[in-house]
Amino acid sequence: MSALEEASSLLKAGDVVAFPTETVYGLGANALDEAAVSKIFFAKGRPAHNPLIVHVADIAQARALTTDWTPEAEALARELWPGPLTLVLKKNGAVPGIVTAGGDTVAIRCPDHPVALALLRKCGFPLAAPSANRSNYISPTSAGHVLRSLNGRIPLILDGGPCMAGIESTVLSLVEMPATILRPGPIHAAMLQKYGIPVAAQGMRSAANNEKILTSPGQMLSHYAPDKPLILVQPEAAATIIAGLRATGKHVGLMQMTLELSIEESAEAKLSTQSDMARGITITTMPDTPELYARLLYATLYMLDAKKIDAIVCELPPDEPAWSGIKDRLRRAATRTE
Ligand code: TXA
Ligand code: MG
């Protein structure tokens, strides 16, 4: 039996399977089977008030989950599916309450990954799937990450290699117009507006936006966090912060933004990197485009979290719309609930 056949038999029998998508690995179960979906919550240790995204093979399967497949949904799905855009719409009776945390809306997306699409087609039913990590830990972008988090708790991981987008999909509510971005991601507001979809100003992170947080129940402030403290700094302030940490004997992992340097400057930077290593700092240079940065973000956090360091210092990327999803994930990873 092929791995894909084994995965679809497990899912048809009401079990869970981890599978790759273009964003992060998902932990899937038959979205129309309440008992199967409850196994996702159990395996992840996920609170029941956090609703799941339903993955579909195509637009027809999405339409069959909603009472009102709106013209905006049709337009965006035609342009951007398969892809990292999740649409929130009014649900119909086919979707069990466990998927939507009892709410009357459902989040739907069609993943742009050949393994995910082949699996969905083989199953014939939609798959509810959150990221395949234990609740509150970093989302997995490789099969190895899933194993680290859920080993022994799930029967199968389909390995589709590293995820190309690297951060979770943009979640867009179309329940009311203008549309609202509930979670920024690889597809940002300017890209949506290009298709004539009015998008309300996004904002759901600050305390002032608590109401918005409640409209997307799973969007708790602390999420995706590594075990080590993550400290976000403006690039200019990194040296001072690191010096402070080193003064108290702490070992530091630094996620550095790529600097555009002249040849002489970069030679100097290289020298300082070598001496920094000797001084108890592990430096990772992050890519300077949002696409590549996103692809490496979680793998870098997994890697640094596993090292013998006491804190991760991360230089903030630029304040530009294309970086909004990445900055959102960094802020969540850096937030502490206690
Ligand atoms: O890229 C992704 O979206 C990945 C892959 C596996 O597809 N999935 C993912 O799932 O990130 P999860 O469970 O980690 O995040 C789902 C997000 C949560 O923030 C949740 O609050 C929101 O989607 N969500 C789900 N259903 C919703 C609904 N009915 N209304 C508003 N937000 C919803
Ligand atoms: Mg998640």
| In the predicted structure, residue 214 carries a pLDDT above the cut 70 | no
Chain segment 56-99, per-residue pLDDT in tens: 999 999 999 999 999 999 999 999 999 999 999 999 999 999 99
Give the pairing type, strands 179-183 and 127-128.
Answer: unpaired
Our mutation pick for probing the ligand 1 site, out of 131, 146, 154, 181, counting the most ligand atoms within 8 A of Cβ, is: 131
Residue owning the nearest CA to atom 18 of ligand 1:
218
Q: Give the CB-side neighbour count of residue 23, counting CA atoms within 13 A.
A: 29
Q: For residue 276, how far is its CA from the centre of ligand 2 (angstroms)?
A: 34
Q: What is the pLDDT of residues 247-284, one digit of tens each?
A: 999 999 999 997 655 555 555 555 555 555 557 899 99
Q: Is residue 52 within 6 Å of ligand 1 at its C-beta? A: yes
Report how far residue 215's alpha carbon sits from residue 121's, in angstroms, rounded to the nearest whole number. Answer: 31
pTM over 0.85: yes
Q: Using CA atoms, how far apart are residues 309 and 226, in angstroms rounded to an integer?
A: 12
Amino acid 212: pLDDT: 39
Cα three-residue angle 168-241-267, rounded to 5 degrees: 85
Ligand 1 atom closest to 99 (CA): 26
* pLDDT for 182 beyond 90: yes
Q: What is the mean pLDDT of residues 125-153?
A: 96
Residue 100 Cβ contacting ligand 1 at under 6 Å? yes
- Per-residue pLDDT band for 33 (boundaries 50, 70, 90) equals very high
Name residue 179's beta-bridge partners. Answer: 199
- Residue 325 Cβ < 6 Å to ligand 1: no
Averaged over 306-321, what is the pLDDT? 94
Question: How far is residue 73's CA from residue 174's CA, in Å, rounded to a whole number?
Answer: 7
Between 207 and 98, the more confident residue is: 98
pLDDT at 258: 75
In this structure, is the dihedral angle defined by the CA atoms of residues 238, 241, 245 and 246, taken in order, positive or negative? positive
The minimum-distance atom of ligand 1 relative to the CA of 86 is: 3
Residue 218 clears pLDDT 50, i.e. is over it:
no
Strands ordered across the beta sheet of 170-173? 17-19, 26-30, 127-128, 53-55, 105-109, 85-90, 170-173, 179-183, 199-200
Q: Please indicate whether residue 82, judged by its CB atom, sits closer than 6 Å to ligand 1.
A: no
Tell how far CA 63 is from the center of its chain.
24
Question: How many Å lie between the centroid of ligand 1 and the Cα of residue 278?
Answer: 42
Pairing between strand 26-30 and 127-128?
A: antiparallel
